[in-house]
């Protein structure tokens, strides 16, 4: 006779362990997805930094030419490109900071289970 047959209200240890393994696999998948998304955010940040540098150099070049007769639209386009690159950089920094807040190793090691209520005689609100 199994534990579940002896006490039908108590879950079977094998079933609990199977659910625990399934939950652990799901957690592992979520962690892998988070790591991949964090890596992508880091790449986006580096690309945004590069785009800012490039657009600033382009703007500087147009500003130098503006002094010798280049018309305003080219200069305005270069200024807008710098603004767009800076906004993209801020978005990438914000996204990466979000992943860094979520991915803290100390959070995983500092987990403390909730204190369990001490059952009293005649208390039927116990759950397994």
Between 5-14, 19-28, 84-93, 113-122, the lowest mean confidence (pLDDT) is in 113-122
Residue 92 scores a pLDDT above 90? yes
Domain annotation for the chain: domains and CATH numbers: 10-101 (1.10.287)
Whole-prediction pTM value?
0.60
**For the residues 17-28, what does the mean pLDDT come to?**
93
Tell me if 28 sits within 8 A of 36, measured CB to CB.
no
Q: Flag whether pLDDT at 115 surpasses 60.
A: no
For 23-74, how does the pLDDT look when each residue is reduced to its tens digit (9 = 90+)? 999 999 998 998 899 999 999 999 999 999 999 999 888 888 777 666 678 8
Q: Is the pLDDT assigned to residue 88 strictly greater than 80? A: yes
Query: Could you tell me if 119 and 57 are in contact, meaning their C-beta atoms sit under 8 angstroms apart?
Result: no
- The Cα–Cα gap between 79 and 83 comes to 6
Residues 6+ apart with CB under 8 A from 73: none
Residue 14: its H or E element: helix 13-66
Q: Is pLDDT of 4 > 80?
A: no
| Phi, psi torsion values for 122, nearest 5 degrees | 85, 0
User: Average of pLDDT values for 108-128?
Assistant: 51
């Amino acid at each position: 006779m199994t534990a579940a047959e002896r006490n039908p209200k108590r879950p079977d240890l094998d079933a609990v362990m199977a659910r625990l393994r399934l939950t652990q696999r799901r957690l592992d998948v979520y962690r892998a997805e988070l790591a991949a998304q964090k890596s992508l955010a880091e790449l986006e940040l580096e690309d945004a930094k590069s785009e800012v540098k490039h657009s600033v150099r382009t703007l500087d070049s147009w500003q130098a030419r503006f002094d010798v007769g280049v018309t305003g639209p080219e200069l305005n386009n270069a200024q807008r490109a710098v603004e767009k690159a800076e906004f993209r950089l801020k978005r990438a920094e914000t996204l990466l900071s979000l992943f860094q807040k979520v991915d803290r190793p100390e959070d995983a090691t500092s987990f403390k289970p909730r204190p369990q209520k001490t059952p009293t005689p005649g208390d039927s609100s116990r759950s397994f």
